[in-house]
């Protein structure tokens, strides 16, 4: 693993450590269920952590449709 990758991992780990509780509380207020809120936070964090910065972000043609969204988002 290269130095740049380690720096990116460390930055993401710090981001999660600083914001996870607030993200969970917000998701809980929206969902009303702690288990579902945890799933929402995990999905959001997993989606935001791209392994390669060269990977393009979702375009309208690749954005999730209602049929492909996770169950909590329906």
Across the chain, which has 74 residues, the per-10-residue mean pLDDT values are 83 91 95 94 84 56 60 62
Report the alpha-carbon distance of residue 74 to residue 55 in Å, rounded.
26
Instruction: Give the per-residue pLDDT at 30.
Output: 93
Instruction: Give the per-residue pLDDT at 56.
Output: 58
- The residue ranges of every structural domain in the chain are 20-50
Instruction: Give the per-residue pLDDT at 37.
Output: 95
């Amino acid at each position: 693993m290269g130095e740049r990758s380690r720096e990116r991992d460390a930055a993401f780990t710090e981001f999660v450590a600083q914001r996870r509780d607030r993200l969970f509380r917000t998701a809980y207020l929206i969902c009303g269920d702690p288990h579902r809120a945890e799933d929402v936070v995990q999905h959001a964090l997993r989606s935001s952590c791209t392994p390669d910065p060269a990977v393009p972000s979702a375009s309208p043609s690749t954005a999730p449709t209602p049929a492909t969204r996770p169950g909590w988002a329906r």
